[in-house]
Chain A
């Protein structure tokens, strides 16, 4: 018996294929969309969790400014909470070679035996040789590297490459994604323009560091724990605490080691310095000695010179004497010659006289003359007398006298002769003496020459010596400078090592410090929030449509119900066949929808998110919990609607059921009572309105369905708009500045001034202002009162205090969102709209940074990203914040943004500059997100379209089948096909319009709700929905409705006029 009922149900399935399929379709859409969207976030998280797990993403990453030695690593191991530990190296370097030349990479060490932070290979293989590397599969703001590229890594600054790497030329053998970098963001660095473009993985042995730079740990207790759960978070927090405790003790060990090592070097240097100093002293002494010697020598030379002068004077005297001697000698010689001549003459005279006496007078005279004339040496008067006597006396005197004269003369001559010989001997002696003196003079002169030469040599020697000493002195001066420098260097080195050691700290990072790691979770949460709203529509509409469809079916089969009843079938049996029908449609429909939903929607969303995140794959498990839930709900929906639809038929008696159901009575509608409108309406309009209100439930359902479609569309477009305009509004209307230069607040005023000057010098900064920005915890009056000292109960915000509040307007335009009224910063604080919302404060209310110190809110400004609190320096003083007001940022407007890279790299070299960031970069990151939203919008549009189509088609279909007779009649009455269609369409158009209008209103609320769910504390989505969204949403709904009407047209055409003649069933 039961089998026949089942058989009948199955038959009715095949007879009413289109209806069955319609129910299946609506269930499929409802379930698919619900489950698909709902599983997107869990799927993404599951995939991420698996990805992290498979790649061994470290739970904890520890860094230290001093690095880690083996003992540190052992200490970490000894704690025993880590499953696996990898101590490795990393360095920020420039690439040279390949397409990414000039880009900055973070180079990590690679140990094939470690399983931590393994990259996910997308291409190629892992390194096998030490010169092989894996590189980032996607460089940011840079061309990618390719397998086979040879790249060289360089420091690009004053770091010594050999301190970092043993070799720096590598061949790319693989490309990969790193679980450390979940998004297209590679973090910051202190080199180059400050942002890292990619990473490379270098075999460990290439690193030349003496100590490890990083320790990564996988925590045993967190193994297999879903990283997106509180359990994980709590576990990580505990772990971080443990490591921080370890750090506190362990860092001293390393400090000491560094100090020891440093002091060893410093002491060596100091000793060396001492040696140097000693040498210097020696050298100085030598120089002094040298100087003394030179002085001595100079004195000696002076003496020598004097001696020479004396000698020369002596020689001059000697020469004079010699000359005198010569003259004397010559005189002597002449005298001798004269004497000889006298002698000869005398002899001649005598002779002649002897022989020739006659003439003797003459001769004597002649001789006398001659004698007078001649200047005879030694001829004296005696001779003359003698001679005269001899001559004058010849004849007159006797011979005797003569003889006696002769004799006297002869004696005289002999005397003369004797004289001559005497003179000759004397001359001889004088000659000898003269010659001797000459020789002596020559010798003296030679000696003087020699002395002079010696003297000259000595002088030259002294000059040389002096030069040497000057050189030596210069050397000494240099050496002194060197020593001073060395001393300073040593002092500096000492200071530095102390600074380093004093600042030394272990930094314990959990995964949330990985760039964008937490954003991923937030984004998942956002999908989840959206997922919570959208699908409910589909379920609701699906239920409504099922209900209508089942009601129609039951209505159609009332005769059959009556017959079955009459035959004695129980109510339950009869109901069961409709429930069976409903379930038979729901289960396969549900599963088809689930299969499609589970597989497509998470994938679509995954594809969207790939423009933001680098996760390599998505897992789309068939989620049985959702599946069972969905299908059960669907069955319940359809089953209950079947039950509800057949409730009336079941209580009616068989006889009643077997009679045709009287058509629904016509009734006056409310509008008719407003006669002045009704009268003016065209006949067709009247008919339309009558018909519309005839089936109120169906109208309502159509309106709900259409409204849902429109609302979804409006929400989708509105949401996209709300998010996409944030960037433009925030960076176009609120933040007018082009760049932020973050300063090290530890730097002094002079350094600040230097940065400021540097900015001016580049010529690209048109104006700038100093501001202080710091993170604060803001509370409202209530939380401030109930403040629990240990917990932070406020909302995080950035406090921004401009040095010159009057200037701020050129960099940040503070204004109200509605009305765009400008806000001037005076007393009190200006807070971001979102913060005001979070704190639930209005203008005039007090907010607190520190409990008990109220600060009045003077205005609320338009702001979208992050929460800001603006106040003047005066207000800051009253805010209760203890930190000293010290600017730590420069806001700059640029006149030429094309040179940003250059500007950054110039500026970052300055120690006082921590980072340079540009508004344009912040914007472009966000634009990626918006891009990804477009796909979600498309998915929603598709879903909304499907919804509109199914609802409108199904309901119109029911409408038409129910009114076949009426339509056939008006066909018989001679309505053209177009008129027949219009007869039905007018109702559809009106209900669509109504639905659209309702949807637009509903959409506003839905959008607000979705935005509220999707918004995070730090972001305010633009709450305004621009008019175009309304227009597009309405237009698309109309388009869907039109599409439905077009398909219905063919169905209308097929209505057989003969139906009008048939008896009512």
Chain B
């Protein structure tokens, strides 16, 4: 059994009398320690998948198994617990609390997590050892995203979910962030799921899940992923 498994997952939104299927029988698997990329055009339904995988939304039908647990059957509280302990979230717009320093932003996550890593340690790992006491406004976009990653990693999640992590960054910064993610995956054996519309980064992933029209259109296993540095877009 795979570490992450979507089995015929359906998610429907009711817009008045019209029913829109955001996930129309989505099924895929991700193995532990894999760097997976879920790719698809805008509106293809990848965010819905992300929401469901991240424990931010429920599905209407099907199973979502993470480390053997069916999170689709979780109650609201179990869902929060799942998010709290098992999922690290990296946002497109970093979503740092502006009023907190880099370290404090990390602590915001570790504070509520029992087996969390030391905030300063994590920040050093993501290369921000010098800037732990800076406020987000004092950091560049890339640095902010690093804080965001550090925040996600600090609680040692089972799953690192990244929503367009480079979407708000320039090309080079985006690359370094992707590198950080890839390195984290490789070095820590962390299961990383990156959601993006950018097809170009697919080669760096172990597994590419392509979503189209609310369905998984193709899953590609990449036996030999390339380092980020070699990718260009």
Residues of A within 8 A of B (CB): 662-667, 683-684, 686-687, 690-691, 694, 965-966, 969-977, 979, 1057-1058, 1060-1061, 1063-1064
Q: Are A975 and B80 in contact (CB under 8 A)?
A: yes
Give bound CA distance, A966 to B136, whole Å: 13
B135 near A: Cβ within 8 Å? yes
Q: Are A973 and B104 in contact (CB under 8 A)?
A: no
Q: Are A966 and B80 in contact (CB under 8 A)?
A: no
The 0/1 profile, CB within 8 Å of A marked 1, for residues 64-89 of chain B is: 00000000000001001111110101
A973 in complex: contacting residue of B47, B50, B98, B112, CB < 8 Å: B112
B108 near A: Cβ within 8 Å? yes
Query: Which A residues touch B47, using CB under 8 A?
Result: 1058, 1061
Q: Tell me the nearest residue of chain A to B135, going by C-beta.
A: A666
Residues of B within 8 A of A (CB): 47, 50-51, 54, 56-57, 77, 80-85, 87, 89, 91-93, 95, 97-101, 104, 107-109, 111-113, 135-137, 151, 163
Query: Which A residues touch B93, using CB under 8 A?
Result: 1063-1064
B111 in complex: contacting residue of A664, A683, A690, A965, CB < 8 Å: A683
Q: Are B56 and A666 in contact (CB under 8 A)?
A: no
Closest chain B CB from A186 CB (angstroms) = 70
Closest chain B CB from A206 CB (angstroms) = 86
Q: Are B100 and A1057 in contact (CB under 8 A)?
A: no
Give bound CA distance, A1058 to B83, whole Å: 14
Q: Are A970 and B108 in contact (CB under 8 A)?
A: yes
Closest chain A CB from B76 CB (angstroms) = 8
Q: Are B91 and A691 in contact (CB under 8 A)?
A: no
Q: Are A666 and B108 in contact (CB under 8 A)?
A: no
Q: Tell me the nearest residue of chain B to A1053, going by C-beta.
A: B76
Q: Are A667 and B135 in contact (CB under 8 A)?
A: yes
Q: Are A690 and B99 in contact (CB under 8 A)?
A: yes
Give bound CA distance, A687 to B93, whole Å: 21
Question: In the complex where A667-B135, A687-B104, A1061-B47 touch, is A972 in contact with B56 (Cβ < 8 A)?
Answer: yes
Q: Known pairs A667-B135, A969-B95, A972-B91; list 8 more (Cβ under 8 Å).
A: A683-B108, A971-B80, A972-B89, A973-B109, A974-B109, A974-B112, A976-B77, A1061-B47
Question: In the complex where A972-B83, A1061-B91 touch, is A665 in contact with B56 (Cβ < 8 A)?
Answer: no
Give bound CA distance, A971 to B91, whole Å: 13
Closest chain A CB from B74 CB (angstroms) = 13
Give bound CA distance, A666 to B136, whole Å: 7
Q: Are A979 and B112 in contact (CB under 8 A)?
A: yes
B83 in complex: contacting residue of A662, A663, A974, CB < 8 Å: A974
Query: Which B residues touch A975, using CB under 8 A?
Result: 80, 84, 112
Q: Tell me the nearest residue of chain A to B164, going by C-beta.
A: A1061
Give bound CA distance, A691 to B98, whole Å: 9
Query: Which A residues touch B54, using CB under 8 A?
Result: 972
Give bound CA distance, A665 to B100, whole Å: 10
Give bound CA distance, A974 to B82, whole Å: 7
Give bound CA distance, A690 to B81, whole Å: 27
Closest chain B CB from A1053 CB (angstroms) = 10
Give bound CA distance, A691 to B97, whole Å: 10
Give bound CA distance, A594 to B83, whole Å: 51
Query: Which A residues touch B80, using CB under 8 A?
Result: 971, 974-977
**A-B residue pairs in contact (CB < 8 Å), sample of 19:** A662-B137, A666-B97, A666-B98, A666-B99, A666-B136, A667-B135, A684-B111, A694-B99, A972-B91, A973-B112, A974-B80, A974-B81, A974-B83, A976-B84, A977-B80, A1058-B56, A1060-B95, A1061-B50, A1064-B93
Q: Are B91 and A666 in contact (CB under 8 A)?
A: no
Closest chain A CB from B194 CB (angstroms) = 14
Q: Are B104 and A1058 in contact (CB under 8 A)?
A: no
Q: Are A690 and B100 in contact (CB under 8 A)?
A: yes
Q: Are A973 and B99 in contact (CB under 8 A)?
A: no
Q: Tell me the nearest residue of chain A to B152, going by C-beta.
A: A973
Interface hub of A694, A974, A1063 (most chain B Cβ within 10 A): A974
Give bound CA distance, A694 to B107, whole Å: 19
Q: Are B101 and A666 in contact (CB under 8 A)?
A: yes
Q: Are B108 and A973 in contact (CB under 8 A)?
A: yes
Q: Are B108 and A974 in contact (CB under 8 A)?
A: no
A663 in complex: contacting residue of B51, B98, B107, B113, CB < 8 Å: B98
Closest chain B CB from A684 CB (angstroms) = 7
Closest chain A CB from B51 CB (angstroms) = 6
Question: In the complex where A665-B135, A1058-B56 touch, is A974 in contact with B85 (Cβ < 8 A)?
Answer: yes
Q: Tell me the nearest residue of chain B to A983, going by C-beta.
A: B108
Closest chain B CB from A79 CB (angstroms) = 83
Query: Which B residues touch A686, using CB under 8 A?
Result: 104
List 9 tightest A-B contacts by C-beta distance, closest first.
A974-B84, A666-B135, A665-B137, A974-B83, A969-B95, A666-B99, A1057-B56, A663-B98, A690-B99
Query: Which A residues touch B136, using CB under 8 A?
Result: 666
Closest chain A CB from B156 CB (angstroms) = 13
Closest chain B CB from A665 CB (angstroms) = 4
Question: In the complex where A665-B98, A1061-B163 touch, is A973 in contact with B84 (Cβ < 8 A)?
Answer: yes
Query: Which A residues touch B101, using CB under 8 A?
Result: 666
Q: Are A1058 and B112 in contact (CB under 8 A)?
A: no
Query: Which B residues touch A970, using CB under 8 A?
Result: 97, 108
Interface hub of B99, B111, B151 (most chain A Cβ within 10 A): B99
Q: Tell me the nearest residue of chain A to B82, going by C-beta.
A: A974
Query: Which B residues touch A1060, using CB under 8 A?
Result: 91, 95
Give bound CA distance, A1032 to B105, whole Å: 40
Give bound CA distance, A667 to B99, whole Å: 7
Closest chain A CB from B111 CB (angstroms) = 5
Query: Which B residues touch A662, using CB under 8 A?
Result: 137
Query: Which A residues touch B84, using CB under 8 A?
Result: 973-976
Give bound CA distance, A971 to B109, whole Å: 11
Q: Are A664 and B89 in contact (CB under 8 A)?
A: no
A666 in complex: contacting residue of B50, B57, B82, B100, CB < 8 Å: B100
Query: Which A residues touch B107, using CB under 8 A?
Result: 683
Give bound CA distance, A800 to B104, whole Å: 74
Query: Which B residues touch A966, using CB under 8 A?
Result: 95, 97-98
Q: Tell me the nearest residue of chain A to B81, going by C-beta.
A: A974
Closest chain B CB from A903 CB (angstroms) = 76
Give bound CA distance, A1064 to B144, whole Å: 15
Give bound CA distance, A694 to B100, whole Å: 10
Query: Which B residues touch A976, using CB under 8 A?
Result: 77, 80, 84
Q: Are A969 and B91 in contact (CB under 8 A)?
A: yes
Give bound CA distance, A976 to B89, whole Å: 16
Q: Tell me the nearest residue of chain B to A669, going by C-beta.
A: B99
Q: Are A691 and B85 in contact (CB under 8 A)?
A: no
Give bound CA distance, A690 to B99, whole Å: 6
Give bound CA distance, A971 to B107, whole Å: 15
Give bound CA distance, A645 to B111, whole Å: 37
Q: Tell me the nearest residue of chain B to A663, going by C-beta.
A: B98
Query: Which B residues touch A972, using CB under 8 A?
Result: 54, 56, 83, 89, 91, 95
Query: Which A residues touch B82, using CB under 8 A?
Result: 974
Give bound CA distance, A881 to B184, whole Å: 102
Q: Tell me the nearest residue of chain B to A970, going by C-beta.
A: B108
Give bound CA distance, A1061 to B90, whole Å: 10
Query: Which B residues touch A979, using CB under 8 A?
Result: 112
Question: In the complex where A665-B137, A666-B98, A694-B99 touch, is A973 in contact with B83 (Cβ < 8 A)?
Answer: yes
Query: Which B residues touch A1064, using CB under 8 A?
Result: 93
Closest chain B CB from A669 CB (angstroms) = 9
Closest chain A CB from B144 CB (angstroms) = 12
Query: Which B residues touch A969, using CB under 8 A?
Result: 91, 95, 97
Interface hub of A666, A691, A694, A1057 (most chain B Cβ within 10 A): A666
Give bound CA distance, A976 to B76, whole Å: 9
Query: Which A residues touch B113, using CB under 8 A?
Result: 974
Closest chain A CB from B12 CB (angstroms) = 16
Give bound CA distance, A691 to B100, whole Å: 9
Closest chain B CB from A973 CB (angstroms) = 5
Query: Which B residues touch A666, using CB under 8 A?
Result: 97-101, 135-137
Interface hub of A684, A972, A979, A1064 (most chain B Cβ within 10 A): A972
Query: Which B residues touch A687, using CB under 8 A?
Result: 97, 99-100, 104, 108
Give bound CA distance, A665 to B98, whole Å: 6
Give bound CA distance, A1058 to B137, whole Å: 23
